Structure 1
Amino acid sequence: MPDLKFEIISSEVKPFAAMPTLSFKLQITNTVEHEEVYAAALKCQVMIEAIKRTYNEEAKDKLYELFGEPMRWDETLKSFFWTIVNIPVPRFTGTTTVEVAIPCSEDQALAAGKYFHAVSDGHVPLAFLFSGTLFYKDINGNLQVSLIPWEKEATHKMPAYLWQEMMDIYFPDSRWLRVKKDTYDRLVTYKSKSVFPTLETAFESLVDKALQGVELTEKHSA
């Protein structure tokens, strides 16, 4: 029966994809020599191991919404779920390499989007947890099926800059923001009743006013 070992050997931005996508090369080795793996249907759960790195002051400020005050990070800073992807593995003997393609979103409603936006230096520690179904032939040539247990895993230190590089490639000098339809309609109304030529400039004016209010509140509280 095959005994599989998993290793992430590289990470990069996937070019020319339909949406922002990170590509990881997964090396799979069957430690049972000369035994053929007929096929495998893998399920991969990816975790962001946030606790396994340090953060500068800028990142700490941006991560407040996720983990709270840095003084409480001993309690609040934890690994968290990123995504699950399915990975088909073709027939191989010994070692093979397949792609783990992860479609990405900078949606600030998602924990992963908030985290990657906040972290721009060093590496992002990732854990890939594997399960699934393995197909192989026994010594008599009969097709056998077995399950891959969740304890099969691989870790990888992804360069943090890859996320920003990916977003710059797919959304040059811009970022994606999702709002409810009624919020969008109110922004359009605000623009139409003002002198702003675009929705972006109307939005900028609202943000500027809000930040001025925050600064005044902070001065009065000091």
Structure 2
Amino acid sequence: MVDLDFRIDDVKVEKYSAAPLLLFALHVVNKTPDLPVLNVMLNCQIRIEPVRRRYDGDEHDRLSDLFGHPSRWGETMRSFLWTHASVSVPAVNAERMIDLPAPCSYDFNIAATKYFHGLEQGDVPLHFLFSGSIFYRDSEGRLQIEQVAWSKECAYRLPLSVWRAMMEHYYPQSMWLCLHRDAFDDLDRYRRRQGLPTFERALRALLEANAAEAT
């Protein structure tokens, strides 16, 4: 029976993708080197573990949208899914290093994006859960297929600076905001009637008008 271990050693931004992408340096170790691994079709669920770090300053307010008032975080703060990743791992004799590509979203309707944006500094505790199929040859040279054990997992602390650098690379000086179609149509109508060139100018005009009414 093949026994593989996995750990994350590093992370970097993929700068030439069509959408935001992080590359995690995945270290695969074959603990049964007498059974040559030909290939691994590896899947990974990446979860965020918010209870594994401290929060200070404005983070309490900015994360209230996700977890409620800080006094309730002991009940409301739970592990949640960030993204899924998959990769085809080439032959593994003793060990192998390979990039694990993790697609990322800047959609603020997604909990993970709100979480990343709510942090001021530090890192993000991640939990990697592995699954997939292992193709190898047994002691008699016969091709075998085996599933990655469900117990295979590892932890990694993603520097917040890496996530911010990725989003700045793909969306420089920009933020993404998703609107319901009716709200978008109303905003577009207002923009055209006011003769404003961009949606940002329309939003600023509305905010300034609201601020003036409040004073």
Question: If the length of structure 1 is used for normalisation, what is the TM-score?
Answer: 0.91
TM-score scaled by structure 2? Answer: 0.93
- 1:101-140 to 2 correspondences below 5 Å: 101-140=101-140
1:208: how far off?
4.1
Shift of 1:92: 2.0
Q: CA deviation at 1:34?
A: 4.0
Deviation readout 1:20-55 (Å, 9 max, x if unpaired): 111101000001134310111111010101000001
Alignment of 1:1-222 (within 5 A): 1-209=1-209
Unaligned runs of 5+ in 1: 217-222
Query: 1:119 Cα deviation (Å)?
Result: 1.4
Do 1:42 and 1:132's aligned partners in 2 also have CA atoms closer than 8 Å?
yes
Q: Is the 8 A contact 1:63 1:118 kept in 2?
A: yes
Contact kept in structure 2, 1:35 and 1:94, CA below 8 Å: no
Cα–Cα, structure 1 residues 145 and 212, in superposed 2: closer, same or farther, change >3 Å?
A: farther
Q: Measured at CA, do residues 206 and 138 of structure 1 come closer, stay the same or move farther in structure 2, by a change above 3 Å?
A: same
Change (3 A) 1:16 1:206: same
CA RMSD of aligned residues (A): 1.7
Mean Cα deviation higher: 44-53 or 175-184: 175-184
Cα distance between partner residues in 2 of 1:108 and 1:48 = 16
Aligned-partner Cα distance in 2 for 1:120–1:167: 15
Q: CA deviation at 1:99?
A: 1.2
Is the contact made by 1:106 and 1:117 (CA closer than 8 Å) also made in structure 2?
Answer: no
**Which stretch of structure 1 is more off in the superposition, 67-76 or 182-191?**
182-191
Partner SS, residue 162 of structure 2: helix
Q: Which moved more, 1:160-169 or 1:21-30?
A: 160-169
Q: Is the 8 A contact 2:6 2:26 kept in 1?
A: yes
Offset of 1:211 from its aligned partner?
A: 6.2
Distance, in Å, in 1 between the alignment partners of 2:36 and 2:212 is: 66
Secondary structure at the aligned position of 2:144 is classed as strand
CA–CA distance in structure 1, aligned partners of residues 169 and 139 of structure 2: 50
Q: How many Å apart are 1:210 and its aligned residue? A: 5.0
Q: Identify unmatched segments of 5+ residues in structure 2.
A: none
- 2:167 maps to a residue whose letter is M
Query: What's the secondary structure of 1:32's corresponding residue?
Result: coil
SS of residue matched to 2:149: strand
